[in-house]
Amino acid sequence: MANVAFLGLGVMGYPMAGHLVKAGHSVTVYNRTTAKAEKWAAEQGGKVGKTPAEAAKGADFVMACVGNDDDLRAVCVGPDGAFAGMSAGTIFVDHTTVSAAVTRELYAAANAKGISFVDAPVSGGQAGAENGQLGVMCGGDEGAYARAEPIIDAYAKACKRLGESGSGQLTKMVNQIAIAGLVQGLSEALHFAEKAGLDGKAVVEVISQGAAGSWQMSNRYETMIDDKFNHGFAVDWMRKDLGICLSTANENGASLPVTALVDQFYKDVQKMGGNRWDTSSLIKRLRAMG
């Protein structure tokens, strides 16, 4: 078993760190709000670091799941950053969804200190984190990934290395691009069913068994029909992710017309006060249009 530090105890990180304890690892956590870290430690029997560097000291692996590019830099670099507390030969695993550019920047900074850096964004949402059933998309050196995979397995349903540094983040962008179109399509389908006077739940029971079926349909159709969105992956987070996708597409020349359109639809949902609603709340925008 390993000594592991976990940085960031949001709706994803909190249960992910717990799975590491259940797997038998010794875990030290850091969170910007110390009270939350102390609550986690009291529940799980782990330790608390006052800074990322303190949490990372003596750790074989340091995992992070924070908010955005700036948050990740803040927990990695500087005198209180994790890299300052890590020893040569240790591995940093980033589960945050960030740009491939900051990933490569921090990969280089880590390597300069003899530290390995694996980008490992996740998919599966809060439920996936709580149930230890996340999809983990990784980039980085093969050797570092091979050492990190058994640790990641504590909360992963599937884990795969896709290539060199940044490949995990690029794959997460592919994931979010695919989801954006699916959720909009499902929203339009359910909205159409409502307008046509059909029983939406009965309709989905049939069409979900054919080519229209998807994870989004199976896991979100009931709450969408019932107009319940206080769960799952928040609209604010999705817009952050889609912004990364669109920015990267501008750099690599990819054409993302549907993604750009859905991003604007999520902007409309934010104007409706839906910043923290689940991403399936796109249907509320259609309902509001009449």
The 3 state secondary structure assigned to the chain is CCEEEEECCCCCHHHHHHHHHHCCCEEEEECCCHHHHHHHHHHHCCEECCCHHHHHCCCCEEEECCCCHHHHHHHHCCCCCHHHHCCCCCEEEECCCCCHHHHHHHHHHHHHCCCEEEECCEECHHHHHHHCCEEEEEECCHHHHHHHHHHHCCCEEEEEEEECCCHHHHHHHHHHHHHHHHHHHHHHHHHHHHHCCCCHHHHHHHHCCCCCCCHHHHHHHHHHHCCCCCCCCEHHHHHHHHHHHHHHHHHHCCCCHHHHHHHHHHHHHHHCCCCCCEHHHHHHHHHHCC
Active site residue 240: no
Residue in 36, 113, 172, 195 annotated catalytic: 172
Active-site positions read 172
